[in-house]
Structure 1
Amino acid sequence: MQVTYISEPTPGGVNDDFVIAGERFVVVLDGATQLSESGCIHNVPWLVKRLGTQLATALVTEPDASLTSILAGAIERVCAMHAGTCDLSNPSSPSSTVALLRHGADTVDYLILCDSPVAIETTDGKVQAITDDATAYLPGYTQDDLRRTRNQPGGFWVASTKPEAAEHAVVGSLNASEVHRVALMTDGMSRLVERYEWSWSRLMDVAESEGPAAAVRAVREAEHATAPGTFRGKQYDDATIAVCREFTS
Protein backbone atom coordinates (compact mmCIF):
# COMPACT_ATOMS: atom_id res chain seq x y z
CA MET A 1 0.00 0.00 0.00
CA GLN A 2 1.31 3.42 -0.96
CA VAL A 3 0.72 6.19 1.59
CA THR A 4 1.41 9.92 1.41
CA TYR A 5 0.49 12.19 4.29
CA ILE A 6 0.94 15.50 6.03
CA SER A 7 0.05 16.85 9.46
CA GLU A 8 0.31 20.56 10.15
CA PRO A 9 -0.71 22.57 13.22
CA THR A 10 -2.89 25.62 13.34
CA PRO A 11 -0.65 28.55 12.26
CA GLY A 12 1.48 29.44 15.26
CA GLY A 13 0.07 26.61 17.35
CA VAL A 14 0.99 23.16 18.65
CA ASN A 15 -0.18 20.17 16.66
CA ASP A 16 -2.77 18.05 18.51
CA ASP A 17 -3.09 15.76 15.45
CA PHE A 18 -0.90 12.73 14.88
CA VAL A 19 -0.35 10.36 11.96
CA ILE A 20 1.67 7.16 11.74
CA ALA A 21 1.80 4.67 8.86
CA GLY A 22 3.37 1.40 7.76
CA GLU A 23 3.22 -0.65 4.60
CA ARG A 24 -0.20 -2.07 5.52
CA PHE A 25 -1.77 0.42 7.93
CA VAL A 26 -2.44 4.10 8.65
CA VAL A 27 -3.46 5.73 11.93
CA VAL A 28 -4.80 9.32 12.03
CA LEU A 29 -5.64 10.93 15.37
CA ASP A 30 -7.13 14.30 16.25
CA GLY A 31 -6.61 15.25 19.88
CA ALA A 32 -9.45 17.27 21.36
CA THR A 33 -8.72 20.77 22.61
CA GLN A 34 -7.91 20.25 26.27
CA LEU A 35 -10.63 21.27 28.68
CA SER A 36 -9.87 22.96 31.98
CA GLU A 37 -9.46 20.88 35.13
CA SER A 38 -8.64 17.70 33.23
CA GLY A 39 -7.14 15.91 36.20
CA CYS A 40 -4.18 14.97 33.99
CA ILE A 41 -0.63 16.30 34.13
CA HIS A 42 -0.13 15.50 30.42
CA ASN A 43 -1.12 17.52 27.39
CA VAL A 44 -2.96 16.37 24.28
CA PRO A 45 0.18 15.74 22.15
CA TRP A 46 1.39 13.36 24.88
CA LEU A 47 -1.80 11.35 24.52
CA VAL A 48 -2.00 11.19 20.73
CA LYS A 49 1.65 10.19 20.30
CA ARG A 50 1.36 7.33 22.78
CA LEU A 51 -2.02 6.20 21.54
CA GLY A 52 -0.83 6.29 17.93
CA THR A 53 2.31 4.32 18.78
CA GLN A 54 0.32 1.71 20.68
CA LEU A 55 -2.11 1.33 17.79
CA ALA A 56 0.69 1.00 15.25
CA THR A 57 2.44 -1.65 17.33
CA ALA A 58 -0.72 -3.72 17.64
CA LEU A 59 -1.54 -3.38 13.94
CA VAL A 60 1.89 -4.84 13.15
CA THR A 61 2.05 -7.54 15.82
CA GLU A 62 -1.64 -8.57 15.85
CA PRO A 63 -2.57 -8.62 12.14
CA ASP A 64 -5.58 -10.90 12.66
CA ALA A 65 -7.11 -9.06 15.62
CA SER A 66 -10.25 -7.00 15.13
CA LEU A 67 -9.73 -3.27 14.86
CA THR A 68 -12.13 -2.82 17.77
CA SER A 69 -10.02 -4.99 20.06
CA ILE A 70 -6.84 -3.28 18.86
CA LEU A 71 -8.25 0.12 19.79
CA ALA A 72 -9.55 -1.06 23.16
CA GLY A 73 -6.18 -2.57 24.01
CA ALA A 74 -4.30 0.56 22.98
CA ILE A 75 -6.53 2.77 25.15
CA GLU A 76 -6.04 0.41 28.09
CA ARG A 77 -2.24 0.45 27.74
CA VAL A 78 -2.08 4.24 27.48
CA CYS A 79 -4.25 4.50 30.60
CA ALA A 80 -1.75 2.30 32.43
CA MET A 81 1.03 4.74 31.51
CA HIS A 82 -0.46 7.55 33.61
CA ALA A 83 -2.89 5.90 36.02
CA GLY A 84 -0.44 6.53 38.85
CA THR A 85 -0.11 10.26 38.20
CA CYS A 86 -3.48 11.35 36.85
CA ASP A 87 -7.19 11.18 37.70
CA LEU A 88 -8.49 8.97 34.92
CA SER A 89 -12.04 9.26 36.25
CA ASN A 90 -12.11 12.93 35.25
CA PRO A 91 -14.44 13.35 32.23
CA SER A 92 -12.16 16.09 30.88
CA SER A 93 -9.12 13.79 30.56
CA PRO A 94 -7.22 14.29 27.26
CA SER A 95 -8.94 12.52 24.38
CA SER A 96 -8.67 11.88 20.67
CA THR A 97 -10.66 10.86 17.63
CA VAL A 98 -9.38 7.81 15.75
CA ALA A 99 -9.31 6.85 12.07
CA LEU A 100 -7.62 3.54 11.19
CA LEU A 101 -7.05 1.75 7.90
CA ARG A 102 -5.58 -1.73 7.57
CA HIS A 103 -4.75 -3.49 4.33
CA GLY A 104 -5.25 -7.18 5.00
CA ALA A 105 -4.53 -10.10 2.72
CA ASP A 106 -7.70 -9.56 0.69
CA THR A 107 -9.51 -6.75 2.47
CA VAL A 108 -9.29 -3.08 3.35
CA ASP A 109 -10.58 -2.60 6.90
CA TYR A 110 -11.43 0.69 8.57
CA LEU A 111 -12.40 2.03 11.99
CA ILE A 112 -13.62 5.51 12.85
CA LEU A 113 -14.24 6.88 16.33
CA CYS A 114 -15.70 10.39 16.43
CA ASP A 115 -15.40 12.94 13.65
CA SER A 116 -12.26 12.06 11.66
CA PRO A 117 -13.72 10.79 8.37
CA VAL A 118 -12.47 8.19 5.93
CA ALA A 119 -13.26 8.76 2.24
CA ILE A 120 -13.16 5.65 0.05
CA GLU A 121 -13.18 5.61 -3.74
CA THR A 122 -13.92 2.24 -5.31
CA THR A 123 -12.73 1.07 -8.71
CA ASP A 124 -16.08 1.99 -10.26
CA GLY A 125 -15.41 5.64 -9.41
CA LYS A 126 -17.92 5.92 -6.56
CA VAL A 127 -16.85 7.81 -3.44
CA GLN A 128 -18.22 7.16 0.02
CA ALA A 129 -17.31 9.22 3.07
CA ILE A 130 -17.62 7.32 6.33
CA THR A 131 -17.71 9.10 9.66
CA ASP A 132 -19.00 8.90 13.19
CA ASP A 133 -21.27 11.95 13.37
CA ALA A 134 -22.43 11.72 16.99
CA THR A 135 -20.98 15.14 17.78
CA ALA A 136 -23.42 16.73 15.33
CA TYR A 137 -26.34 15.86 17.62
CA LEU A 138 -25.12 17.07 21.00
CA PRO A 139 -27.42 19.30 23.08
CA GLY A 140 -24.69 21.92 23.36
CA TYR A 141 -20.98 22.57 22.90
CA THR A 142 -19.85 24.42 26.01
CA GLN A 143 -17.18 22.84 28.20
CA ASP A 144 -19.88 21.68 30.61
CA ASP A 145 -21.89 20.14 27.75
CA LEU A 146 -18.84 18.25 26.51
CA ARG A 147 -18.01 16.96 29.98
CA ARG A 148 -21.54 15.63 30.41
CA THR A 149 -21.75 13.90 27.03
CA ARG A 150 -18.20 12.67 26.39
CA ASN A 151 -17.96 8.87 26.57
CA GLN A 152 -21.52 8.60 27.80
CA PRO A 153 -24.55 6.77 26.37
CA GLY A 154 -26.49 9.19 24.20
CA GLY A 155 -23.44 11.45 23.85
CA PHE A 156 -20.29 10.84 21.86
CA TRP A 157 -17.32 8.50 22.26
CA VAL A 158 -13.61 9.23 21.92
CA ALA A 159 -10.34 7.51 22.80
CA SER A 160 -9.51 8.68 26.31
CA THR A 161 -9.73 6.65 29.53
CA LYS A 162 -12.49 4.15 28.70
CA PRO A 163 -11.44 1.14 26.57
CA GLU A 164 -15.13 0.37 26.00
CA ALA A 165 -15.28 3.44 23.74
CA ALA A 166 -13.89 1.16 21.02
CA GLU A 167 -17.21 -0.70 20.96
CA HIS A 168 -18.89 2.48 19.71
CA ALA A 169 -16.58 2.94 16.71
CA VAL A 170 -17.79 2.68 13.13
CA VAL A 171 -16.08 -0.32 11.51
CA GLY A 172 -16.23 -1.92 8.09
CA SER A 173 -14.38 -3.91 5.48
CA LEU A 174 -14.16 -3.91 1.68
CA ASN A 175 -12.67 -6.29 -0.84
CA ALA A 176 -9.21 -4.90 -1.56
CA SER A 177 -9.60 -5.50 -5.30
CA GLU A 178 -12.54 -3.07 -5.34
CA VAL A 179 -10.72 -0.17 -3.64
CA HIS A 180 -9.02 2.48 -5.77
CA ARG A 181 -7.91 4.95 -3.09
CA VAL A 182 -8.69 5.99 0.46
CA ALA A 183 -8.15 9.25 2.36
CA LEU A 184 -8.11 9.45 6.15
CA MET A 185 -8.23 12.91 7.67
CA THR A 186 -9.00 15.04 10.67
CA ASP A 187 -11.86 17.51 10.65
CA GLY A 188 -9.36 20.31 10.14
CA MET A 189 -8.97 18.92 6.62
CA SER A 190 -12.48 17.60 5.97
CA ARG A 191 -13.82 21.13 6.50
CA LEU A 192 -12.91 21.72 2.85
CA VAL A 193 -15.94 19.53 2.12
CA GLU A 194 -18.07 20.20 5.19
CA ARG A 195 -17.65 24.00 5.18
CA TYR A 196 -16.24 25.06 1.83
CA GLU A 197 -18.24 22.91 -0.59
CA TRP A 198 -15.43 20.86 -2.08
CA SER A 199 -16.27 17.32 -3.17
CA TRP A 200 -14.47 14.36 -1.62
CA SER A 201 -13.12 13.51 -5.07
CA ARG A 202 -11.67 17.00 -5.51
CA LEU A 203 -10.00 16.82 -2.11
CA MET A 204 -8.43 13.45 -2.89
CA ASP A 205 -7.40 14.59 -6.37
CA VAL A 206 -5.56 17.63 -5.01
CA ALA A 207 -3.90 15.68 -2.19
CA GLU A 208 -2.79 12.96 -4.59
CA SER A 209 -1.80 14.88 -7.72
CA GLU A 210 -0.42 18.07 -6.13
CA GLY A 211 0.61 16.55 -2.81
CA PRO A 212 -0.93 16.68 0.67
CA ALA A 213 0.68 20.08 1.32
CA ALA A 214 -1.47 21.55 -1.45
CA ALA A 215 -4.58 20.40 0.37
CA VAL A 216 -3.37 22.10 3.56
CA ARG A 217 -2.70 25.31 1.62
CA ALA A 218 -6.28 25.20 0.31
CA VAL A 219 -7.61 24.83 3.85
CA ARG A 220 -5.57 27.77 5.11
CA GLU A 221 -6.67 29.99 2.23
CA ALA A 222 -10.32 29.15 2.88
CA GLU A 223 -9.97 29.71 6.63
CA HIS A 224 -8.20 33.03 6.12
CA ALA A 225 -10.96 34.24 3.82
CA THR A 226 -13.70 33.33 6.30
CA ALA A 227 -14.98 35.93 8.75
CA PRO A 228 -14.71 34.84 12.40
CA GLY A 229 -18.01 33.42 13.66
CA THR A 230 -19.20 32.27 10.24
CA PHE A 231 -19.12 28.64 11.38
CA ARG A 232 -19.48 26.98 14.76
CA GLY A 233 -16.10 26.02 16.16
CA LYS A 234 -12.57 27.14 15.39
CA GLN A 235 -11.68 29.41 12.51
CA TYR A 236 -8.36 27.56 12.12
CA ASP A 237 -7.55 23.98 13.05
CA ASP A 238 -4.75 21.44 12.81
CA ALA A 239 -4.96 19.70 9.44
CA THR A 240 -3.96 16.11 8.67
CA ILE A 241 -4.59 13.90 5.65
CA ALA A 242 -3.24 10.52 4.53
CA VAL A 243 -3.94 9.25 1.01
CA CYS A 244 -3.61 5.50 0.34
CA ARG A 245 -3.36 3.65 -2.97
CA GLU A 246 -2.09 0.40 -4.49
CA PHE A 247 -4.08 -2.18 -2.54
CA THR A 248 -2.30 -5.20 -3.96
CA SER A 249 -1.94 -8.49 -2.11
Structure 2
Amino acid sequence: MKIGVIGIGNIGGTLARKLSAAGHEVRVANSKGPEGVRSFAQEIGATPVDARGAVEGADLVILSIPFPAVAKLPKDLFDGLPERAPIVDTGNYYPDLRDPHIPELDDGKTESIWVSEQIGRPIIKAFNNILAHSLAELGRPEASPVRIAVAVAGDDAEAKRIVMGIVNEVGFDPVDTGSLAESWRQQPGTPGYCCDYDAETMRNALAEAVPGKAPAIRNQLYDCIGQLSPNPSHADIIHMNRSVHSGN
Protein backbone atom coordinates (compact mmCIF):
# COMPACT_ATOMS: atom_id res chain seq x y z
CA MET A 1 0.00 0.00 0.00
CA LYS A 2 0.90 3.65 -0.38
CA ILE A 3 0.90 4.96 3.19
CA GLY A 4 1.33 8.56 4.26
CA VAL A 5 2.45 9.26 7.83
CA ILE A 6 2.00 12.79 9.15
CA GLY A 7 4.02 13.12 12.35
CA ILE A 8 7.15 11.06 13.04
CA GLY A 9 7.24 11.14 16.83
CA ASN A 10 7.29 8.02 18.98
CA ILE A 11 4.14 6.45 17.54
CA GLY A 12 4.09 7.82 14.00
CA GLY A 13 7.82 7.27 13.51
CA THR A 14 7.63 3.71 14.78
CA LEU A 15 4.70 2.88 12.52
CA ALA A 16 6.49 4.41 9.54
CA ARG A 17 9.57 2.31 10.27
CA LYS A 18 7.61 -0.92 10.69
CA LEU A 19 5.43 -0.39 7.63
CA SER A 20 8.39 0.50 5.43
CA ALA A 21 10.20 -2.63 6.62
CA ALA A 22 7.07 -4.63 5.73
CA GLY A 23 7.35 -3.47 2.13
CA HIS A 24 4.81 -0.66 1.98
CA GLU A 25 5.51 2.53 0.05
CA VAL A 26 5.77 4.97 2.94
CA ARG A 27 5.88 8.75 2.75
CA VAL A 28 6.62 10.75 5.90
CA ALA A 29 5.91 14.36 6.79
CA ASN A 30 5.92 16.76 9.70
CA SER A 31 5.44 20.49 10.23
CA LYS A 32 8.99 21.30 9.02
CA GLY A 33 8.53 20.18 5.43
CA PRO A 34 10.47 17.54 3.46
CA GLU A 35 13.88 18.69 4.70
CA GLY A 36 12.75 18.25 8.29
CA VAL A 37 12.09 14.54 7.74
CA ARG A 38 14.69 13.73 5.09
CA SER A 39 17.24 12.12 7.42
CA PHE A 40 14.61 9.91 9.08
CA ALA A 41 13.09 8.98 5.72
CA GLN A 42 16.48 7.90 4.37
CA GLU A 43 17.11 5.85 7.49
CA ILE A 44 13.90 3.81 7.14
CA GLY A 45 13.61 3.71 3.34
CA ALA A 46 10.68 6.13 3.09
CA THR A 47 10.10 9.25 0.99
CA PRO A 48 10.29 12.69 2.64
CA VAL A 49 7.34 14.93 1.74
CA ASP A 50 5.15 17.70 3.13
CA ALA A 51 1.68 16.99 4.52
CA ARG A 52 0.03 17.28 1.11
CA GLY A 53 2.58 14.89 -0.34
CA ALA A 54 1.74 12.38 2.39
CA VAL A 55 -1.95 12.52 1.52
CA GLU A 56 -1.82 12.67 -2.28
CA GLY A 57 -2.62 9.31 -3.84
CA ALA A 58 -2.37 7.46 -0.52
CA ASP A 59 -4.20 4.23 0.23
CA LEU A 60 -4.02 4.97 3.94
CA VAL A 61 -2.96 8.00 6.00
CA ILE A 62 -1.70 7.90 9.59
CA LEU A 63 -2.20 11.13 11.50
CA SER A 64 0.10 11.11 14.53
CA ILE A 65 0.38 14.69 15.78
CA PRO A 66 -0.71 16.53 18.96
CA PHE A 67 -4.27 17.82 19.00
CA PRO A 68 -3.32 21.53 18.78
CA ALA A 69 -1.50 20.70 15.53
CA VAL A 70 -4.56 18.88 14.20
CA ALA A 71 -6.58 22.07 14.53
CA LYS A 72 -3.97 23.94 12.45
CA LEU A 73 -3.96 21.54 9.48
CA PRO A 74 -5.17 23.07 6.19
CA LYS A 75 -8.93 22.61 5.98
CA ASP A 76 -8.64 21.22 2.46
CA LEU A 77 -5.75 18.85 3.19
CA PHE A 78 -7.79 15.67 2.74
CA ASP A 79 -10.12 16.90 -0.01
CA GLY A 80 -8.27 14.91 -2.69
CA LEU A 81 -7.93 11.72 -0.66
CA PRO A 82 -10.17 8.92 -2.01
CA GLU A 83 -13.14 8.20 0.25
CA ARG A 84 -12.03 4.58 0.52
CA ALA A 85 -8.65 5.51 2.02
CA PRO A 86 -8.73 5.27 5.82
CA ILE A 87 -7.32 8.06 7.97
CA VAL A 88 -5.93 6.67 11.22
CA ASP A 89 -5.83 8.99 14.22
CA THR A 90 -3.30 7.84 16.83
CA GLY A 91 -3.49 10.93 19.04
CA ASN A 92 -4.49 11.57 22.64
CA TYR A 93 -5.49 14.68 24.56
CA TYR A 94 -3.18 15.51 27.48
CA PRO A 95 -4.34 18.83 28.98
CA ASP A 96 -2.03 20.35 31.60
CA LEU A 97 0.68 17.84 30.70
CA ARG A 98 1.32 18.69 27.04
CA ASP A 99 -1.73 20.28 25.43
CA PRO A 100 -3.58 23.54 26.02
CA HIS A 101 -7.17 23.05 27.13
CA ILE A 102 -9.71 22.44 24.37
CA PRO A 103 -13.16 23.39 25.75
CA GLU A 104 -15.12 20.85 23.70
CA LEU A 105 -12.95 17.99 24.97
CA ASP A 106 -13.06 19.30 28.53
CA ASP A 107 -16.85 19.25 28.21
CA GLY A 108 -16.75 15.55 27.33
CA LYS A 109 -16.71 15.33 23.55
CA THR A 110 -15.08 12.09 22.38
CA GLU A 111 -11.55 12.88 21.23
CA SER A 112 -11.75 11.07 17.90
CA ILE A 113 -15.07 12.77 17.06
CA TRP A 114 -13.36 16.12 17.62
CA VAL A 115 -10.46 15.13 15.35
CA SER A 116 -12.86 14.02 12.63
CA GLU A 117 -14.63 17.36 12.82
CA GLN A 118 -11.35 19.28 12.59
CA ILE A 119 -10.21 17.54 9.40
CA GLY A 120 -13.64 17.14 7.85
CA ARG A 121 -13.29 13.42 7.24
CA PRO A 122 -14.27 10.15 8.94
CA ILE A 123 -11.38 8.55 10.80
CA ILE A 124 -10.37 5.28 12.40
CA LYS A 125 -9.01 5.49 15.94
CA ALA A 126 -6.07 3.13 16.53
CA PHE A 127 -2.58 2.91 18.06
CA ASN A 128 -3.50 5.48 20.72
CA ASN A 129 -3.74 3.01 23.60
CA ILE A 130 -0.31 1.42 23.31
CA LEU A 131 2.99 2.74 24.63
CA ALA A 132 5.71 3.65 22.16
CA HIS A 133 8.10 1.07 23.65
CA SER A 134 5.48 -1.66 23.32
CA LEU A 135 4.79 -0.68 19.71
CA ALA A 136 8.49 -0.63 18.83
CA GLU A 137 9.72 -3.67 20.73
CA LEU A 138 6.91 -6.01 21.77
CA GLY A 139 5.16 -6.93 18.53
CA ARG A 140 4.83 -10.65 17.88
CA PRO A 141 3.92 -12.79 14.84
CA GLU A 142 0.29 -13.68 14.32
CA ALA A 143 -0.89 -16.62 16.47
CA SER A 144 1.91 -16.14 19.01
CA PRO A 145 0.79 -17.40 22.44
CA VAL A 146 1.30 -13.97 24.06
CA ARG A 147 0.41 -10.96 21.95
CA ILE A 148 -0.49 -7.41 22.99
CA ALA A 149 -3.81 -6.03 21.75
CA VAL A 150 -4.51 -2.68 20.10
CA ALA A 151 -8.00 -1.16 20.12
CA VAL A 152 -9.53 -0.02 16.82
CA ALA A 153 -12.71 2.07 16.53
CA GLY A 154 -14.55 3.49 13.54
CA ASP A 155 -17.80 3.67 11.62
CA ASP A 156 -16.71 2.32 8.22
CA ALA A 157 -16.43 -1.46 8.31
CA GLU A 158 -14.10 -1.73 5.32
CA ALA A 159 -11.80 1.04 6.57
CA LYS A 160 -11.70 -0.62 9.96
CA ARG A 161 -10.86 -3.97 8.36
CA ILE A 162 -7.91 -2.41 6.54
CA VAL A 163 -6.58 -0.78 9.70
CA MET A 164 -7.04 -3.96 11.74
CA GLY A 165 -4.94 -5.69 9.10
CA ILE A 166 -2.18 -3.14 9.62
CA VAL A 167 -2.36 -3.68 13.39
CA ASN A 168 -1.90 -7.39 12.83
CA GLU A 169 0.89 -6.84 10.32
CA VAL A 170 3.01 -4.79 12.75
CA GLY A 171 2.68 -7.47 15.43
CA PHE A 172 -0.44 -6.92 17.53
CA ASP A 173 -3.94 -8.33 17.95
CA PRO A 174 -6.59 -5.85 16.76
CA VAL A 175 -9.62 -5.51 19.02
CA ASP A 176 -12.75 -3.90 17.60
CA THR A 177 -13.93 -1.17 19.97
CA GLY A 178 -17.06 -0.44 17.95
CA SER A 179 -18.14 2.86 16.46
CA LEU A 180 -16.11 6.06 16.59
CA ALA A 181 -18.51 7.32 19.25
CA GLU A 182 -17.41 4.38 21.41
CA SER A 183 -13.72 5.21 21.06
CA TRP A 184 -13.83 7.08 24.39
CA ARG A 185 -13.33 3.60 25.84
CA GLN A 186 -9.69 3.65 24.66
CA GLN A 187 -8.84 7.24 25.69
CA PRO A 188 -6.30 8.10 28.42
CA GLY A 189 -7.58 7.21 31.87
CA THR A 190 -9.66 4.21 30.79
CA PRO A 191 -8.98 0.64 32.00
CA GLY A 192 -7.55 -0.54 28.67
CA TYR A 193 -5.22 2.40 28.12
CA CYS A 194 -1.53 1.48 27.71
CA CYS A 195 -1.62 -1.65 29.86
CA ASP A 196 -0.10 -4.21 27.45
CA TYR A 197 -3.16 -6.46 27.73
CA ASP A 198 -3.88 -9.43 25.50
CA ALA A 199 -7.02 -9.38 23.35
CA GLU A 200 -9.38 -11.02 25.84
CA THR A 201 -8.24 -8.82 28.72
CA MET A 202 -8.45 -5.75 26.48
CA ARG A 203 -12.06 -6.53 25.55
CA ASN A 204 -12.93 -6.84 29.24
CA ALA A 205 -11.15 -3.58 30.03
CA LEU A 206 -12.97 -1.74 27.25
CA ALA A 207 -16.29 -3.05 28.57
CA GLU A 208 -15.42 -1.87 32.10
CA ALA A 209 -14.85 1.75 31.04
CA VAL A 210 -17.29 4.16 32.72
CA PRO A 211 -18.53 7.26 30.86
CA GLY A 212 -17.11 10.48 32.27
CA LYS A 213 -14.64 8.82 34.64
CA ALA A 214 -11.51 8.89 32.46
CA PRO A 215 -10.46 12.55 32.95
CA ALA A 216 -10.16 12.14 36.72
CA ILE A 217 -8.16 8.92 36.31
CA ARG A 218 -5.97 10.60 33.69
CA ASN A 219 -5.20 13.41 36.13
CA GLN A 220 -4.47 10.82 38.82
CA LEU A 221 -1.97 9.23 36.44
CA TYR A 222 -0.26 12.60 36.05
CA ASP A 223 0.32 12.59 39.81
CA CYS A 224 1.55 8.99 39.73
CA ILE A 225 4.03 9.80 36.96
CA GLY A 226 5.53 12.44 39.22
CA GLN A 227 6.13 9.82 41.89
CA LEU A 228 8.07 7.48 39.61
CA SER A 229 11.85 7.52 39.40
CA PRO A 230 13.40 9.99 36.91
CA ASN A 231 13.91 7.13 34.44
CA PRO A 232 11.07 4.66 35.03
CA SER A 233 11.23 1.31 33.30
CA HIS A 234 8.59 0.13 30.88
CA ALA A 235 7.44 -2.36 33.52
CA ASP A 236 7.04 0.47 36.04
CA ILE A 237 4.76 2.40 33.70
CA ILE A 238 2.64 -0.64 32.86
CA HIS A 239 2.30 -1.47 36.56
CA MET A 240 1.25 2.12 37.29
CA ASN A 241 -1.39 2.11 34.54
CA ARG A 242 -2.86 -1.20 35.67
CA SER A 243 -2.73 -0.35 39.37
CA VAL A 244 -4.64 2.90 39.12
CA HIS A 245 -7.72 0.90 38.03
CA SER A 246 -7.25 -2.07 40.36
CA GLY A 247 -6.62 0.10 43.41
CA ASN A 248 -3.32 -1.65 44.15
- TM bin (shorter chain): under 0.3
**Whose relative contact order is higher, 1 or 2, with alpha carbons under 8 Å and at least 6 apart?**
1
Q: So what's the TM-score if we normalise by structure 1?
A: 0.28
Structure showing the higher strand proportion among its residues: 1
Structure showing the higher helix proportion among its residues: 2
